[in-house]
Structure 1
Amino acid sequence: MPEGTVRSLSVNGVRYSYRLLERTGPVTGPVTEPVVVLGGALQGMLGWPQMDGRLGPVASVVTADLPGMGTAAPLPPGPSADILCAAVTRIIDDLGVPRVNLFGFSYGAALAFRCAQRNPGRIARLLLGGVPAHITEAQRAHWQRATDRLAAGDTDGFATLVTEALMCLDPERYVARRDLAYRYVKRSMLHAVAHSPHAADSVYRSLGDRPDFSGGLSGVPALVFTGEHDTVTSAERQRAFAATIRGSRFTTIRDTDHWVVLEKAEEVADLALRFFTDRPLEPGGYLTSVPQQERVSGRSKA
């Protein structure tokens, strides 16, 4: 994995950092604005090697340990949306570019959507995946049980419950690489708790900060994608959310769940490459405007 350059910033007195991998492609090749990747609550700047490899030839790739995540300083008490949006804006300013492509996944989708709403002129294109647009009280209760395990010092129990909450374990639904993804997600949760000084606070905050996907959006080209078996928020509800973004497009990727970025990492990276460079999203094009929907698996139309 290329190392890139790590730059330190601060917002409202909170220290954080981002990693910049400069574009590696030839000057004469197709290029696009830098791609800023925002992941889940416990995902740091080193968790996106597939994006580095696929997007590196056409764009600079930016990943971050935002305030309250990874190696960054903890967030102050209270709602965090404003400070996190300001942190993303500071990254764009520090890059010295007028606009960026913004990719938000899971918890990061809520932040990316909010940033695009607040400052659409800085966002060239918006790609959102695994959007937690609707979380039930039963799901919140499950997460609360997980945090109770963490508070009691049972890190393995915490990691198990979190992994179960984020994956489709129904044997009647086929999910590609399910066992591999399960092991990876659980191991990642254990690593985050062991190595981030405020991982527990990040989890508690994700329970308290209910993401707001209301208000719609216009003026930003947008694509929303999901795994067809996403059990965090169903594909149908994510499709309904996509319909609130004027002119957006929506697709499901089959044989995947919420962890589509692991289970079909290359397909997701290729989708991002095509969207951010304004190419057909498949040879001949396979996506249509909301409210219509297509299902995608690799390079074949369902």
Structure 2
Amino acid sequence: MIDTVQTGKGKSVRALDLDTNYHEAGVGDPVILLHGSGPGVSGWTNWKRVLPRLAEDFRVLAPDMAGFGFTQRNPDLHYDIKLWVRHLIAFMDALDIKRASLVGNSFGGSLSLAAASRFPDRFDRLVLMGTPCDAFMMTPGLRAAWDYTPDRDVMRATMLHFPYDPAIITDELVEDRYQASLIPGAQEGLRKLLVQPAEDGDTPLSGMPEHLVRQIAHPTLILHGREDKVIPVEMGVKLAHAMPNAELHMFGKCGHWVQSERAEAFIALARRHLGAAS
């Protein structure tokens, strides 16, 4: 049996005809935390340490997007970025959130860009972490995530691609992600997000096209680990060059998990960018 406290089953709201799992804390301007796409990912496993800190200043919500975590599965849905944008907007509508800021990790960053591009009036500020832009090749970290099958040792080996310092992969973190990976259909969203890796040679992937990114005028904070082996740091630099109102902070000796590897700096930078009272 899955331990729902450990894996993060929270509140539920009907959005896009899906019972959508989410966590919420705090009061104030809404900030929505959008998770990444690795094995065992969910709003809770991605954000459980960040959420209470940001909730000191904001109303913070962390949903499980369609195909991930404890959100209801619908086998008839075609998962793509358009669906995830529709799900995000439906989630906001279901909670009567007219406008929000977004904090997106990896896939969540791509979703933030797509949503802000299509519905600019629904969003205030963006924080993007380890977010792709335009074409790049599948990295070993993404390949390992796509190949994952539920097993604690495999989970640990897969997660070692993500941080710079392997000491961050604690037994607790492995268990959290492993338990979440046991949710029926847990890999479904990830394998719909990425193309199947090529047997030989490189596998091309694509983030938000640069010509569309250039049109996103929201104030944006871009955070990227210099040693990111999952989404190359060049993606963050490209975003910063393209977006008209963006600032880039590059963390040395940091991999793909900025919010965990540089937790205090992440909180400080995000609070300031999102407009927290000093």
Shorter-chain TM-score range: 0.7 to 0.9
User: Residue 68 of structure 2 contacts residue 187 of structure 2 at CA under 8 Å; is this kept in 1?
Assistant: no
Q: From the superposition, tell whether residues 211 and 39 of structure 1 become closer, same or farther in structure 2 (CA, over 3 Å).
A: farther
Pairing 1:164–2:160 present: yes
Hey, what's the Cα distance between the residues in 2 that align with 1:180 and 1:212? 27
The corresponding residue for 2:189 is: 202
Q: Superposition pairs for residues 102-181 of structure 1, below 5 Å? A: 102-133=102-133, 135-137=136-138, 139=140, 142-143=143-144, 147=147, 150=149, 155-156=151-152, 158-168=154-164, 175=165, 178-181=166-169
How far residue 102 of structure 1 moved from its aligned partner, in angstroms, is 0.4
Pairing 1:55–2:54 present: yes
User: Residue 136 of structure 2 contacts residue 206 of structure 2 at CA under 8 Å; is this kept in 1?
Assistant: no
Which of residues 148, 158, 179 is equivalent to 1:191? 179
The corresponding residue for 1:275 is: 273
Which of residues 33, 45, 49 is equivalent to 2:43? 45
The corresponding residue for 2:261 is: 263
Secondary structure, in 3 states, of the residue corresponding to 2:44?
Answer: coil
Q: Superposition pairs for residues 11-90 of structure 1, below 5 Å? A: 11=16, 13-23=17-27, 33-41=29-37, 42-47=40-45, 48-75=47-74, 76=76, 78-90=78-90
The one-letter amino acid paired with 1:260 is V
Q: From the superposition, tell whether residues 183 and 229 of structure 1 become closer, same or farther in structure 2 (CA, over 3 Å).
A: farther
The corresponding residue for 2:201 is: none
How far residue 43 of structure 1 moved from its aligned partner, in angstroms, is 2.6
The corresponding residue for 2:13 is: 8
User: Residue 116 of structure 1 contacts residue 123 of structure 1 at CA under 8 Å; is this kept in 2?
Assistant: yes
The corresponding residue for 1:213 is: 208
Runs of 4+ in 1 over 4 A off after TM superposition: 182-185
User: Residue 10 of structure 1 contacts residue 87 of structure 1 at CA under 8 Å; is this kept in 2?
Assistant: yes
Structure 2: segments with no counterpart, 5+ residues: 197-204
Hey, what's the Cα distance between the residues in 1 that align with 2:270 and 2:102? 10
1:262-294 CA-to-partner distances (Å, cap 9, x unmatched) read 1121221121111100779xxxxxxxxxxxxxx
How far residue 243 of structure 1 moved from its aligned partner, in angstroms, is 1.8
The corresponding residue for 2:202 is: none
Hey, what's the Cα distance between the residues in 2 that align with 1:110 and 1:164? 23
The one-letter amino acid paired with 1:20 is E
Structure 1: segments with no counterpart, 5+ residues: 24-30, 169-174, 281-302
1:109-130 CA-to-partner distances (Å, cap 9, x unmatched) read 1111111111111110011001
| Alignment coverage as a number of residue pairs | 256
Length-normalised TM-score, structure 2: 0.80
Deviates more, 1:48-57 or 1:94-103: 48-57
Provide the identity percentage: 19
User: Residue 142 of structure 1 contacts residue 165 of structure 1 at CA under 8 Å; is this kept in 2?
Assistant: no
Deviates more, 1:56-65 or 1:44-53: 44-53
1:70-129 CA-to-partner distances (Å, cap 9, x unmatched) read 111225453421221111112222332321010000121111111111111111001100
The one-letter amino acid paired with 1:127 is V
How far residue 204 of structure 1 moved from its aligned partner, in angstroms, is 1.8
- Computing the radius of gyration from Cα coordinates, the structure with the larger value is 1
Secondary structure, in 3 states, of the residue corresponding to 2:121?
Answer: helix
User: Residue 69 of structure 2 contacts residue 186 of structure 2 at CA under 8 Å; is this kept in 1?
Assistant: yes
Hey, what's the Cα distance between the residues in 2 that align with 1:236 and 1:141? 16
User: Residue 66 of structure 2 contacts residue 189 of structure 2 at CA under 8 Å; is this kept in 1?
Assistant: no
The corresponding residue for 1:93 is: 93
Cα RMSD (Å) of the superposition?
2.9
The one-letter amino acid paired with 1:204 is R
User: Residue 102 of structure 1 contacts residue 112 of structure 1 at CA under 8 Å; is this kept in 2?
Assistant: yes
Length-normalised TM-score, structure 1: 0.74
Hey, what's the Cα distance between the residues in 2 that align with 1:192 and 1:102? 23
